[in-house]
A = this chain, B = another copy of it.
């Protein structure tokens, strides 16, 4: 399946605005049969009752149905993440491929952006937020790595996952007990189990137990980004990495923010994309930025109290997205940034993984 990776970032005027993607198809820039996944940063609250995710997904499906059969559409991960707090701007990220030059990179050339999507079987409600989910994700990540011709864990730079949550209906239909009867809490456990599945696949963690999920925050993946949504029962997994089997100018890099104000980590990452440039100057080569944000459970950032976890008017995930969004936008210079909340087991407490997809400028690959 290798070839040349294509990544399009497009503005969205509302959750049902799929016109930008449709135009790409119409004008021949995007071959709908080659779409690997579509990500959407939508303008809902990113929490339980965020219907912008389902609305965007329904709108995408209706548009894609003009070009693809139902089974084809079902195989494309559509990962919607709600929440554009602060100045963040709603947008789509379309991942696809072309045949490229047909020849793989030569030994001396740098590895290029490689990617693949996998959708797992539907989970049983009993599995959600537990080690069974983590195992399923582990297997799927490895499968996607193979599909993308990514040779090993070190070449994986980001794994974006959309996973299910427990509703009271689902909990009631389960045979046996479920991980939690709290819907919002099930979102966190499901994200956490998915992230630990990634950590298992990438060798960041060796084993996990049910009791560690959502509890032992010393276990985390440096490359997992997980969102939970009511609109699915399977896990949808997109693996992004580097491979010499792929061609083209696109590259990916990642780092981990140690806390919510870890600007130096971001600055270092941007320097990969545009060495030697200053503040807000890397954006010319940046295609997409993917980051996780969350309120630190300690209630502090570098010893100073924050109030995100005590605010009963605004969910802490909304606070965290807007705040980290501001930091990223300041360093980068624009606001179409895919910042998602709820980073359980995705980076250290209060921090999270960040990845950038960029165009390699001649001679800048190491």
A contact set with B: CB distance below 8 Å = 11, 13-16, 43-45, 47-52, 54-55, 58-59, 62, 84-90, 168, 183-184, 260-261, 263-264, 266-267, 279-280, 295, 298-299, 301-302, 304-315, 318-320, 322-331, 333-336
Contact = CB atoms under 8 A, between A and B. Distances in A.
B304 A11 contact: yes
Contact of A323 (B85, B279, B313): B85
A261 B89 CA distance: 13
Given A263-B279, A263-B330, A329-B261, A307 B54 contact: no
Contacts of A261: 87, 326, 329-330, 333-335
A84 to B, nearest CB: 5
Contact of A307 (B90, B311, B315, B326): B90
A183 B302 contact: no
Contact of A299 (B168, B266, B323, B328): B168
Contacts of A11: 304-305
22 contacts: A43-B310, A48-B310, A49-B312, A55-B58, A62-B62, A86-B260, A86-B306, A87-B295, A87-B301, A89-B307, A260-B329, A261-B334, A261-B335, A264-B280, A266-B330, A301-B334, A302-B333, A313-B313, A322-B323, A323-B323, A323-B325, A327-B327
Given A312-B47, A312-B48, A306 B89 contact: yes
Contacts of A322: 85-86, 319, 322-323, 326
A336 B43 CA distance: 28
Top 9 closest pairs, chain A to chain B, by CB: A86-B323, A326-B326, A47-B312, A327-B330, A263-B330, A323-B326, A55-B55, A89-B304, A326-B327
A260 to B, nearest CB: 5
A48 to B, nearest CB: 5
Contact of A44 (B51, B84, B299): B51
Contacts of A326: 86, 260-261, 322-328, 330
B45 A301 contact: no
A304 B236 CA distance: 29
Contacts of A328: 326
A43 B88 CA distance: 23
A54 B267 CA distance: 40
B16 A54 contact: yes
Nearest to A86: B323
B327 A306 contact: no
A14 B53 CA distance: 13
A58 B301 CA distance: 28
A211 to B, nearest CB: 15
B307 A49 contact: yes
Nearest to A302: B334
Nearest to A323: B86
A59 B51 CA distance: 12
A207 to B, nearest CB: 25
